[in-house]
Amino acid sequence: MGGGGPGYHSRASLARREHRLSQPETRRLSVPGTDQGIATALDALAEMVAAHGLSKAVSWPVEVSLDEVLANVVRHGLEGREGGSVEIELTLDTGVVPPFCRVVVADDGPEFDPLSAPEPDTSLGVEDRPIGGLGISLVRRLMDEIAYERRDGRNRLRFERRLVAVEA
């Protein structure tokens, strides 16, 4: 076979590159576990989406989900702790059709799997309607995939979606 193998592989990877419109971009940021931190992260995602020429019409589910997840972490996980911080990884791939977005949120608060929370009852009237749990329920419904793991003493929530208009 000689050098045939490597040659084949390099042609194949070249072909893969040529079929891509662009490479995925990943941005990592660390924000304080505060309202300001949430605003900074939402701004970063909005800016990234705009820089890639994507419309709010397809990006809003990820933006809503990031808000819900960060609000959970800040209000419940890191509540009252000095210097708590949240690591966020934003990946946007506009080289595929439809474009794809993945977010990973990691914090060093107490172990908590938001996916273990029961679904809220959305059939009750105004007076009895619970508001707790609604945020994560929205994230579940808006994302294609969502996964939690506890790793190295940190909570790590990954959620992702193909950026197409939502069919409610």
**Rule CB under 8 A: which residues touch another protein?**
35, 38-39, 42, 56-57, 60-61, 63-64, 67-68, 70-71, 75, 122-123, 125-127, 129, 131, 134-135, 137-138, 141-142, 165-166, 168
- Report the distance separating Cα 106 and Cα 168, nearest Å: 29
Q: Which residue has the tokens 């949430």?
A: 38
Q: Which is nearer to another protein, 18 or 167 (CB)?
A: 167
Q: Which residue has the tokens 């997840």?
A: 69
Q: Which residue has the tokens 């309607």?
A: 129
Instruction: For the CB of residue 94, give the shortest distance to another protein in the complex, in Å.
Output: 20
Instruction: For the CB of residue 131, give the shortest distance to another protein in the complex, in Å.
Output: 5
Q: Which is nearer to another protein, 10 or 36 (CB)?
A: 36
Q: Which is nearer to another protein, 95 or 133 (CB)?
A: 133
Q: Measuring CA to CA, which residue among 46, 38, 98 is closest to residue 74?
A: 38
- Report the distance separating Cα 5 and Cα 74, nearest Å: 51
Q: Which is nearer to another protein, 17 or 75 (CB)?
A: 75
Instruction: For the CB of residue 107, give the shortest distance to another protein in the complex, in Å.
Output: 15
Instruction: For the CB of residue 20, give the shortest distance to another protein in the complex, in Å.
Output: 29
Which regions of 13-166 does DSSP assign to beta strands (E)?
Answer: 25-32, 85-93, 100-107, 145-151, 154-162
Q: Which is nearer to another protein, 11 or 129 (CB)?
A: 129
Q: Is 6 helix (H, G, I), strand (E, B) or coil?
A: helix
Instruction: For the CB of residue 36, give the shortest distance to another protein in the complex, in Å.
Output: 8
Q: Which residue has the tokens 């059939």?
A: 123
